[in-house]
Amino acid sequence: MRTARRFLAAAILAATAITANATPAAAANPTHMPVPAKGRGCDYQTTLQTTLRALHEDPADWSVVDMADDPTIAGVTRYPENTVRMNAALPCDLIADVARHEHIHRVQWAVFGRSDAKTPLEDAFGGDEEVERVADCGAIQLGAEYTYYLGSDPTLCTSRENHAARLLNDWWTAHQAGA
Residue whose CB is nearest to Zn ion in the complex, by number: 31
Kindly give, in sequence order, each residue whose CB lies less than 8 Å from that of residue 157, ignoring residues fewer than 6 positions away: 133, 136, 137, 140, 150, 165
Q: Which stretch binds Zn ion (CB under 5 A): 37-45, 58-66, 118-126, 128-136?
A: 128-136
Taking CB under 5 A as the criterion, the residue among 16, 29, 31, 87 binding Zn ion is 31
User: CA-to-CA distance for 127 and 9, rounded, in angstroms?
Assistant: 15
Nearer to Zn ion, 55 or 135 (CB): 135
Nearer to Zn ion, 32 or 163 (CB): 32
SS3 44: helix
Q: Which stretch binds Zn ion (CB under 5 A): 26-34, 82-90, 116-124, 163-171?
A: 26-34
The per-residue b/e assignment along 83-121, b for 16 or more CB within 10 angstroms, e otherwise, is: bbbbbebbbbbbbbbbbbbbbbbbbbbebbbeeebbebb
Q: If binding is defined by CB under 5 A, does position 87 make contact with Zn ion?
A: no
Q: Which stretch binds Zn ion (CB under 5 A): 12-20, 129-137, 159-167, 169-177?
A: 129-137
Give the binding site for Zn ion (CB under 5 A): 31, 132, 135
